[in-house]
Amino acid sequence: MEPRGLPRLLMHLANGLVILFIMLPIVAVVLGSLQPERTLQGESRRVIPSEWTLDNFTVILTQGQQKGRIFEQATYLPDNIKSFYRAFANSLIVALGVTLLTVGFGALSAYTVARLELRWALWLMQANVVARFLPAIVLMIPLYVVVRSLGQLNTLHAVVLTETGFLLPYAIVILVPFFANIPADLEDAARIDGCTHFQAFWRIILPLSAPGLAACAVIMFIISWHELLIPLILNSRPEFMTLPVIVASLVGDVHVFFNLLMAICLLSLLPTVILVALLQRYVVEGLAAGAVKG
């Protein structure tokens, strides 16, 4: 049923509005990051600047060593901008650690829920679904007190562990439908051939669920890369900050203007936006599985 005539035109128009809405902030961050402070302030009614520059990126990526033309006069640069690489590395360590742990532990749990037909496993699953709703701010107050009393503030492992516990329920909810969809015959055949349940899990279910594991891993990485509250509250020293914490620390800093701000915003969103673009199929499958089929 292809729409024709006026409805077709209206649909093109509506699509145009949708695309405009999606792209407007992206265009803003790109244009904002590619111009000097001077045009951003002086030409406050122009969309396309009269002058372009890469200096905003240069100053961030050289950690303030090369200031470029537009920051020549600048006497002050926030320290957090200078620790960009450290924050990037921290974010990467945390996100990879969290992804590995959530997918690993999640797969073990999801198998028992989906395959072992245990009554209490269903309860565990329901607890996981409920746990997904706990707002981070609720957990972070007691966790701050606990982590502080254990002397583990300003460490990466406390952040990894907290995020893993926080995301594990969601990982399980995503994985269960993938495991449940693998035909029971395959596992039964392996059992008849003498595999233990664990061998069946390891050799049959896991390899066959590779797309599900990939989907879960991408989503876990993205959420961990985006997480602000947990590292913000647990880590206050610059050397342990993650990228979102650095970005948040620039809010309200009167010495940082939008050109530099947009450059660091662009750098912080690129990894996960590229991931979403490249692995769109997995992201879509994982999100759908985690929301609907759980």
Partner 1 sequence: MALLAPESLGDANRAGKDARRGTGELSRGALGVAMNLPTIGLLLLVLAYPVVYAGYLSLHQVGIAQLRRGVFPWNNGDNYARLLEDPLFALALKNTILFTLLVVGVEVVLAIAIALLLNQASLWTSRLARLLILIPYGVPPITNGLIWSFMYSFQFGFLNRVLFSSGLINEPVNWAGNPNTALYAVAVAYIWRTLPFAVLIVHAALQGIPRELHEAATVDGASAWQRFRSITLPLLMPVIIIILILRTSFAFAVFEEILAITQGGPGDASYVAAWYTYKLTFSPPNNIGMGAASAYVLALLVGLFAIAYVRLLYRRIA
Interaction residues for partner 1, span 174-213 (CB under 8 A) = 191, 194-199, 201-202
Of 143, 204, 205, 216, the one binding partner 1 (CB under 8 A) is 143
| Residue 133 binding partner 1, by CB under 8 A | yes
Nearer to partner 1, 59 or 205 (CB): 205
Nearer to partner 1, 53 or 112 (CB): 112
| Residue 164 binding partner 1, by CB under 8 A | yes
| Residue 150 binding partner 1, by CB under 8 A | no
Q: Which stretch binds partner 1 (CB under 8 A): 51-59, 64-72, 79-87, 272-280?
A: 272-280
Closest to 125 measured CA to CA, from 185, 81, 172, 85: 172
Distance CA 176, CA 194 (A): 25
Of 5, 6, 117, 185, the one binding partner 1 (CB under 8 A) is 117
Of 60, 98, 215, 247, the one binding partner 1 (CB under 8 A) is 247
Distance CA 165, CA 171 (A): 10
| Residue 275 binding partner 1, by CB under 8 A | yes
Sequence-ordered alpha helix ranges (H) in the chain: 5-33, 37-42, 55-61, 79-82, 84-115, 119-131, 136-149, 156-180, 184-192, 197-200, 206-208, 210-226, 229-234, 243-249, 258-278, 280-288
Of 74, 89, 92, 129, the one binding partner 1 (CB under 8 A) is 129
Nearer to partner 1, 66 or 198 (CB): 198
| Minimum CB–partner distance for residue 26 and partner 1 (Å) | 7
Write out the two tokens for 207: 């390899």
Nearer to partner 1, 5 or 65 (CB): 5
Using alpha carbons, list the distances in angstroms from residue 103 to 59, 96, 113, 164.
37, 11, 15, 10
Write out the two tokens for 120: 């209490």
Write the burial class of residue 149 (CB in 10 Å: 0-12 exposed, 13-18 middle, 19+ buried).
exposed
| Minimum CB–partner distance for residue 256 and partner 1 (Å) | 10
Closest to 94 measured CA to CA, from 269, 273, 241: 241
Nearer to partner 1, 59 or 233 (CB): 233
| Minimum CB–partner distance for residue 138 and partner 1 (Å) | 4
Write out the two tokens for 88: 């990037």
Nearer to partner 1, 65 or 220 (CB): 220
| Residue 106 binding partner 1, by CB under 8 A | yes
Of 23, 54, 186, 210, the one binding partner 1 (CB under 8 A) is 23
